Chain A
């Protein structure tokens, strides 16, 4: 199959394919970070995670319209404002959901799964009623359009680079929060031993709520970033949910590094296989491999040593 290509063309194909894999990697990382906090640290199954991302995407859509209508001069900057609002909107919804729903169900993880699935259906319907059933796209600022020619044959799209930079920045931010802040220390303490954490004076109920809110907020930012590379529809969130959970479980719940490593391996495997096989077969093979490895090693790639 390579006979028709010259060496330099092959190099270019692999470079472009690898770059496509990197964009997919960034997407997976962004999707999985929020879930790594919520599922990895708290053990809560949030099936509505995709809908929190979509909320961020819709907030970005609204902001882009507001900027285009009222502040066209600042349009190039709207995305950064939108991201902050996406974080706040999804985070606020997350706080509310934790208060109304999740906190009653910490002892019943399977029921949490069903309740959040119900929540996701309700959110989908609300999005559909408010924004219409069609997919919406935001207008991308000029500086993000086009692509950067690296060599004669290799070009990389600027919005892809932007999403990659975002993924790195947000991962770093989450890492700081998890491992260098007081909140992160409390979250990890609760994860290791809830009763003891309570006894030493950590407000576990409030920390839980904040953690859920922050996880949802990160999901919102991820959704905001997705508008740069694709359009948004009411049911788009559901498409992500299986991938996202597999990334987190495969990486080993509770390990941020594991999440990133698993996002990298899954995305690279998928984009490389996509070159040889059809898209759907690549997806099937990737998922089967992940599930197969999980059957052999249920705890995931990286595990935290915990005394349960």
Chain B
């Protein structure tokens, strides 16, 4: 029976990615590098969300860092509270509160920090807080049919606002340093190598859950509607669909993915700071998606891995070349490869592979024109 959820080439694509993430990378890399790749994979969550919003829905958000940051901060607040037991912080003037609060002369935990004592609440907040903000932004913007570049600029303004807010409110947020010195998750030390390996696999598994959700959305009626909205918004509206509702949903879904990515970032890297929230990281997340291919959810994962890997290796050896390279990448992707790696794959490599392996004289398969996913 032919599955409508995954075509054969898509199934192969998922299987190859699973092989790379769960077998090839852990075998090839030492624990430090594996942790780095785990960090890159957290950006893939954002990139997959952007494929849905931007590639499929035509909504370019330059504020995904906001949701990534909100998710990450929710996780970091829980871990920070766990690390700031009265015993650990006995040298402070007020033991039991996070160190940066003590440095800023706060004498008790702010009320909105209180619920983050509970892991269940924090995990809920990791998804709920980004979705809540995305929902407000989405309702305000899409109901009024604001889209395109205006949406991009306003989401970018949100990235700026949140960064200024976090840096300005040092006593509550840890300021420019962010929330650092995170130690344990329910007593389990997350700083050891074994813990990092376990987290890497948890991260990979979550990424696949997200990928399957994204694939499900794309194959569903909603996915078709999104593409229709991107190409001919008015026609969809005249057909009786609530365009704004679909846009809000997909924007919230992207925000939820980004929030999960942020939380996994905090767990694996061990801190969260405003440098991951602002304008620059937000727009870099768009380039991960663009390099991988804005139409392909698997491409987005490869894009996030590749760009970040390039960033790390370039900035280790030629720091001044990296910005030139990244800038050139932005321009090249837009001018030469608008569909990114996935576009190159589906247009140039896959047809040749098919021609190579297809039995001679066989009719061309109908699925040839579908992009490699």
Q: Which residues of A contact B (CB under 8 A)?
A: 43, 45, 101, 104-105, 108-115, 117-122, 124-125, 128-129, 238, 241-242, 245-246, 249, 278-281, 283-284, 287-288, 290-291, 294-295, 298
Q: Is B199 an interface residue (CB 8 A)?
A: no
Known contacts A122-B327, A125-B323, A287-B157; A111 and B334 CB within 8 A of each other: yes
Rounded to whole angstroms, the CA-CA distance of A117 and B168 in the bound complex is 26
Rounded to whole angstroms, the CA-CA distance of A119 and B330 in the bound complex is 8
Q: How many residues of B contact A (CB 8 A)?
A: 43
Interface SS of B by simple majority: helix
Rounded to whole angstroms, the CA-CA distance of A176 and B148 in the bound complex is 31
Q: Which residues of A contact B328 (CB under 8 A)?
A: 118, 122
Are A246 and B280 in contact, with the CB atoms below 8 A?
no
- Which partner residue on chain B sits nearest A47 by CB separation? B283
Q: Is B269 an interface residue (CB 8 A)?
A: no
Q: B91-133 vs A: 1/0 string, CB under 8 Å?
A: 0000000000000000000000000000000000000000000
Q: Which residues of B contact A295 (CB under 8 A)?
A: 140-141, 144, 146, 154
Tell me the smallest distance from the CB of A58 to a CB of chain B, in Å.
Answer: 17
Which of B157, B165, B279, B280 gathers the greatest number of chain A CB atoms within 10 Å?
B157
Tell me the smallest distance from the CB of A279 to a CB of chain B, in Å.
Answer: 8
Are B156 and A242 in contact, with the CB atoms below 8 A?
yes
Q: Is B60 an interface residue (CB 8 A)?
A: yes
Rounded to whole angstroms, the CA-CA distance of A120 and B146 in the bound complex is 26
Residues 322-343 of B at the A interface (beta carbon under 8 Å): 323-324, 326-331, 333-335, 338
Tell me the smallest distance from the CB of A100 to a CB of chain B, in Å.
Answer: 9
Q: B130-149 vs A: 1/0 string, CB under 8 Å?
A: 00000000001100111011
Are A125 and B324 in contact, with the CB atoms below 8 A?
yes
| Number of A-B residue pairs at CB separation under 8 A | 119
Q: Which residues of A contact B316 (CB under 8 A)?
A: none
Are B326 and A105 in contact, with the CB atoms below 8 A?
no
Add 18 more A-B contacts to A114-B330, A124-B323, A291-B158 (CB < 8 A): A45-B153, A108-B334, A115-B331, A115-B334, A117-B330, A121-B326, A122-B323, A125-B320, A238-B280, A242-B160, A245-B157, A279-B168, A281-B168, A287-B164, A290-B157, A295-B144, A298-B145, A298-B146
Known contacts A105-B334, A122-B323, A280-B165; A298 and B160 CB within 8 A of each other: no
Rounded to whole angstroms, the CA-CA distance of A128 and B319 in the bound complex is 12
Q: Which residues of A contact B169 (CB under 8 A)?
A: 280
Tell me the smallest distance from the CB of A29 to a CB of chain B, in Å.
Answer: 19
Residues 162-197 of B at the A interface (beta carbon under 8 Å): 164-165, 167-169
Q: Which residues of B contact A278 (CB under 8 A)?
A: 168
| Candidates B146, B150, B164, B290; contact of A283 at CB < 8 Å | B164
Q: Is B260 an interface residue (CB 8 A)?
A: no
Interface SS of A by simple majority: helix
Q: Which residues of B contact A109 (CB under 8 A)?
A: 148-149
Tell me the smallest distance from the CB of B315 to a CB of chain A, in Å.
Answer: 12
Known contacts A246-B153, A291-B157; A111 and B165 CB within 8 A of each other: no
Known contacts A118-B326, A291-B158; A110 and B331 CB within 8 A of each other: no
Tell me the smallest distance from the CB of B182 to a CB of chain A, in Å.
Answer: 25
Tell me the smallest distance from the CB of B317 to a CB of chain A, in Å.
Answer: 16
Q: Which residues of A contact B153 (CB under 8 A)?
A: 45, 245-246, 249
Are B157 and A114 in contact, with the CB atoms below 8 A?
no
- Which partner residue on chain A sits nearest B148 by CB separation? A109
- Which partner residue on chain B sits nearest A279 by CB separation? B168
> Could you write out 7 A-B pairs with CB less than 8 Å apart?
A101-B335, A113-B60, A246-B153, A278-B168, A283-B168, A284-B168, A287-B161
Rounded to whole angstroms, the CA-CA distance of A280 and B173 in the bound complex is 14
Q: Is B287 an interface residue (CB 8 A)?
A: yes
Tell me the smallest distance from the CB of B163 to a CB of chain A, in Å.
Answer: 10
Rounded to whole angstroms, the CA-CA distance of A41 and B186 in the bound complex is 57
Q: Which residues of B contact A101 (CB under 8 A)?
A: 331, 335
Q: Is B229 an interface residue (CB 8 A)?
A: no
- Which partner residue on chain B sits nearest A253 by CB separation? B150
Q: Is B152 an interface residue (CB 8 A)?
A: yes
Q: Is B52 an interface residue (CB 8 A)?
A: no
Rounded to whole angstroms, the CA-CA distance of A110 and B153 in the bound complex is 10
Are B335 and A291 in contact, with the CB atoms below 8 A?
no
Rounded to whole angstroms, the CA-CA distance of A104 and B287 in the bound complex is 19
Closest 8 CB pairs of A and B: A118-B330, A280-B168, A121-B327, A122-B327, A295-B140, A125-B323, A118-B327, A118-B331
Rounded to whole angstroms, the CA-CA distance of A244 and B338 in the bound complex is 28
Q: Which residues of A contact B286 (CB under 8 A)?
A: 114
Q: Which residues of B contact A114 (CB under 8 A)?
A: 283, 286-287, 290, 330, 333-334
| Candidates A104, A110, A128, A287; contact of B335 at CB < 8 Å | A104
| Candidates A43, A121, A291; contact of B154 at CB < 8 Å | A291
